[in-house]
Amino acid sequence: MSTHDLYTAPVDTSTWNVPMAGDARFTWEYDDGRDRLLALYQKGKDKQWDSEKRIDWDLEVDPHDVLGVPDRSLAIYGTKYWDRLSKKDLGELRRHSASWQFSQFVHGEQGAMVTAARIVESVPDLDAKFYSATQTMDEARHVELFSKFLQEKIGLVYPINTKLQELLDETLTDSRWDMPYLGMQVLIEGLALAAFGVIRDITTKPLPKQILAYVMQDEARHVAFGRLALRDYYRQLSPAELREREEFVIEGCHLMRDRIRGREIWENFGIPPAEIDGIVNDSPYMRMFQSLLFSRIVPCVKDIGLWSDRIRETYDDMGVLDMSKADLDALMSQDEEIAERLDGERFAAEEAERKAEVDAVIAEASSG
C-alpha cells in the first residue's frame, strides 16, 4: 500500500524540491583529524545495526492505544471537547495523537538524512565528512523503522508539520557550511532527541520503547558531533557573525515550540483553530512536555558558544532557561545505558524462554 493512501490529508505526490546553495568542498589532507571526532566516527561504525534484526517487529500494537500512556497526556483532557468524546472517538484520538508524533519523527529523520548527506558534501574537514557519512546511514535506518511502524502498526500518517518544513527549508538553503549543523544537529535533532526520551520513558508498550531507545543511542552521537564541530568553529567568528547564528537559533526555537502544538490533530477533531493554542497552553502535561523538549537544545546552544543576553532572554521568556544547567554528557551516557540495558533484558528473557523449552522437552522425554 502506498503511504499516500494512509495520510490524513492529501499530500502532493511530487517531490519537495529544495534548491541547494553553497559549495561542495574537497580536501586533499587525508592524515589529519581531531581525535575526539575520529573516535566518534569509530563509534559510529561500531554501533551500526539492522532494524529488521534488532527490533522485535512481532510485538503486537493496539492502534487505539499505541503508547499506553494516561489520557491526561492529551491536550484536550478535562476540557468541554473531552467530555463530548465517545469511547470510539477516544480510541481514534489516541491513534491520531501517536500517528502525528511518529509522522513528525519520520519526516524529521528524512530531513536529517538529507542534511547529513549535505554536510558530507559541504563541510571542509575530512574527519567531519567521515562521521557525517555514518550519520547518513543512521538516519536512513531511522526513516526505515519509523515508516514501518506507522504503516504496519498504526496505519495512519500525518503530513509534515509546516513549522518543521519551514526550519528544514531554512537549514538546507543557507550557503554557509555550518548552518546545516546548527539547524539539524542542534535544533531539530536536539528537540527530537528530547521528545524521543520523554516518550521512551513514559510508554508502557514494548515496541515503541525499543524503537525509541535504539534510535536515541544513535542520536546521542549526532548531537555530540554537532557540538564538537561548531564549538571549534564559533570560537573564530566575529561578533556580527555570531549574532547572525543567534538570530537563526531564536527563530528556529520559536518554530520548534509552535511545531509541538499538534494543531493538525485538534482541527481533525473539530476544535476551532482559534481555541487550539489556548487549550494547549493550559494543559499541564503539554507545558511540562514543552519544557522538557528544550532540555537538549538549551545546554547545547550554550556549549557551542551562542550564549548572548538575547539568547538567554529568549529562553527565559519561553520558560526553559534553567535547562542550560543540564549535563549533556550525562544525558547522552544515560541514553547509551538504557539501550544496552534493554538489549540485555530482551536477550536474557529470550535465553530463559529457550532454556524452558529445552527443559520441557527433556522432562517429557524422561517421563516417557
Q: What is the mean pLDDT of residues 263-273?
A: 91
- The C-alpha atoms of residue 132 and residue 118 are separated, in whole angstroms, by 9
- Chain centroid to CA 65: 21
Q: How confident is the model at residue 366, as a pLDDT?
A: 65
Asked whether residue 351 carries a pLDDT value surpassing 70, the answer given is no
Reported confidence tier of residue 262, pLDDT bands at 50, 70, 90: confident
Handedness of CA 270, 166, 233, 119 (dihedral sign): positive
Q: Is residue 210 a contact partner of residue 57, using CB atoms and an 8 Å limit?
A: no
Q: Could you read off the pLDDT of 53-69 as tens digits, one per residue?
A: 999 999 999 999 999 99
Report the SS3 class of residue 309. helix
From 208, 37, 258, 57, select the one nearest 129 (Cα to Cα): 37
**120-139: burial string, b at 16+ Cβ within 10 Å, e else:** bbbbebbbbbbbbbbbbebb
Triad 252, 319, 313: Cα angle to 5°: 65
Nearest to 159 by CA among 65, 306, 18, 264: 264
Least confident of 22-36, 92-106, 150-164: 22-36
User: pLDDT digit string (tens) for 146-175?
Assistant: 999 999 999 999 999 998 999 899 999 998
Neighbour tally for 111: CB within 10 Å: 26
Query: d(Cα 73, Cα 290) in Å, to the nearest integer?
Result: 12
Query: Where residue 135 falls among pLDDT bands split at 50, 70, 90?
Result: very high
pTM of the model: 0.89
DSSP 151: I
Q: What is the rounded CA–CA span in Å between residue 281 and residue 278? A: 5
| CATH code linked to domain 3-10+34-334 | 1.10.620.20
DSSP 56-123: -TTS---TTSSS---GGGSTTTTSHHHHT--HHHHHHHHHHHHHHHHHHHHHHHHHHHHHHHHHHHH-
Ramachandran bin of 365, using left for φ above 0, alpha for ψ from -120 to 50, beta for the remaining angles = alpha
Question: What pLDDT is recorded for position 57?
Answer: 96
| Distance (Å, whole) CA 236 – CA 93 | 50
